[in-house]
């Protein structure tokens, strides 16, 4: 199966934005049989991303907030993202709306999703942008976030779909609910 998968993906190019510790992008590498063309992030996540940078020293790593100018990035077929999910996480119990750490659609942490989505769609234009987030993105707590995501999708001619799942359905003996979002470079998902 692995050889067949690698043959299917031989011409596919991908990248990751905010890979954090690297689980999602490592899964991409296993599925495609190749490393990403480049990784993109922000200095705020440097501590978490030091692991993936050390693992793939030969993969270009672009830190957006340290650039004077954004040069054109190679177009890739897909981009994956693992933005912080504390704004929609059920583990976040903060109610202090003025702290910037409160939970819900208006949480400051959700801005990372909007910024990365906008950056990728505007500057890379992949066939698919896929991201992983907390299960709350799929529920009532995430409605405001999804509404903003739809606006960004429409602005760039993309469609949006969400999938809520649990790791127990995918061969991992741990219950960990997650929501995946997909921006498709087409009118319909």
Q: Give the pair of three-digit tokens for residue 39.
A: 């990784």
Q: Which of 30-39, 82-91, 128-137, 164-173 has the lowest mean pLDDT?
A: 82-91
CB 114 within 8 A of CB 81: no
The least confident of 12-16, 46-50, 130-134, 156-160 is 130-134
What pLDDT score was predicted for residue 61? 95
pTM comes to: 0.84
Residue 144 has pLDDT above 90, yes or no: no
pLDDT in tens, 49-68: 999 999 999 999 999 999 87
Listed in sequence order, the residues at least 6 apart from 143 whose beta carbon sits closer than 8 Å to its beta carbon are 105
Q: DSSP of 54-104, one letter per residue?
A: HHTTTS-EEEGGG-SS-PPPPP-SEEEE----TTT-TT-----GGGT---S
Q: How confident is the model at residue 95, as a pLDDT?
A: 53
Identify whether the C-beta of residue 39 lies closer than 8 Å to the C-beta of residue 15: yes
Q: Per-residue pLDDT tens for 59-115?
A: 999 999 998 777 779 999 999 999 876 556 444 344 555 545 555 556 667 788 899
Closest CA to 131 of 184, 56, 186, 90: 184
Greater confidence (31 vs 100) lies with 31
Q: Which residue has the higher pLDDT, 93 or 127?
A: 127
Q: Which residues pair with 162 in a beta bridge?
A: 181
Mean pLDDT of the chain: 85
């Amino acid at each position: 199966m692995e050889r067949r998968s690698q043959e299917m993906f031989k011409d596919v190019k991908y990248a990751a934005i905010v890979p954090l510790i690297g689980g999602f992008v490592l899964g991409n590498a296993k599925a495609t049989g190749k490393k990403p063309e480049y990784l993109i992030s922000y200095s705020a996540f440097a501590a978490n991303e030091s692991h993936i940078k050390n693992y793939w020293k030969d993969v270009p790593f672009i830190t957006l907030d340290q650039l004077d100018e954004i040069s054109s990035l190679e177009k890739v077929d897909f981009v994956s993202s693992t933005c912080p999910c504390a704004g929609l996480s059920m583990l976040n119990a903060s109610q202090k709306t003025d702290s910037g750490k409160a939970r819900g659609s208006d949480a400051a942490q959700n801005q990372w999703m909007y910024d990365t989505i906008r950056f990728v769609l505007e500057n890379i234009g992949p066939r698919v942008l896929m991201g992983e987030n907390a299960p709350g993105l799929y529920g009532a707590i995430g409605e405001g976030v999804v509404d903003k995501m739809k606006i960004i999708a429409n602005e760039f001619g993309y469609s949006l779909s969400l999938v809520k799942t649990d790791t127990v359905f995918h061969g991992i003996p741990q219950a960990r609910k997650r929501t995946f979002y997909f921006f498709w470079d087409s009118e319909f998902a």
